[in-house]
Amino acid sequence: MTDQCRKRLNKERQSHYRKKQKINYNAGIKRYELGRMDQMCIHCGGKFWINERNQKSSQASPSFTICCAGGKVNLPPLLKPPSYLLDLYTLPGPIPNSFRKNIRAYNNLLACTSFGANIDERFQRQGISNFQIHGQVYHRIGSLLPEVGHSPMFAQLYIYDTEHENENRQSIIQDLNNDIL
């Protein structure tokens, strides 16, 4: 792993544990209200706001094509998640609550690549995770084998030292539940 990669990972870990400053994000920004997302595509059932309708359709009889191209694209329904995973998302209790609190860490730990972009930090707030990207999104994958003296990470966890995958993952982010992993 290069020094640049190591510095970036260290910076990401530190920013995860640091408390963010209180900034007034609404100063000078006018809120735009979209209304209810109560419109549906007659072909696929996709949900939309009324302002997302085709420009040539009326408000009384809106049509939408950005979802399924007016019925030309037909995707199979999503598979039901395994019951254990569904329980982690929906049930109350200490283990599901911990999972939901750390869901981003679990996702990052199980990723084979690292997401990269020039992110505008002004839009980072508590609540639903959102951010604004300037420029291009890219993925860092790194080498298939860790450098000498370094622990495996990302895709290396699945290729190198597969007998100790979970231990290697735990060494990256220690606060996660090993049973969930």
pLDDT of residue 91: 94
Angle between helical axes of 83-90 and 94-101 (0-180°, round to 10): 80
Q: Please give the angle made by the CA atoms of 111, 117 and 121, to the nearest 5 degrees.
A: 110
Residues 67 and 105 in one domain: no
**Of 21, 45, 75, which residue sits at a domain end?**
75
pLDDT of residue 19: 46
Confirm if 109 and 176 have CB atoms less than 8 A apart: yes
* Residue 156 scores a pLDDT above 80: no
141 within domain boundaries = yes
Q: CA-CA distance, 164 to 181, in Å (whole number)?
A: 13
Number of domains comprising the chain? 2
Residues 132 and 170 in one domain: yes
pLDDT mean across residues, the chain: 78
Lowest mean pLDDT, pick from 15-19, 84-88, 153-157: 15-19
Residues 64 and 140 in one domain: no
80 within domain boundaries = no
17 within domain boundaries = no
Cβ partners under 8 Å of residue 78, min gap 6: none
Q: Please give the angle made by the CA atoms of 172, 108 and 84, to the nearest 5 degrees.
A: 100
Residues 59 and 108 in one domain: no
Structural domain boundaries enclosing 46: 35-75
* Residue 26 scores a pLDDT above 70: no
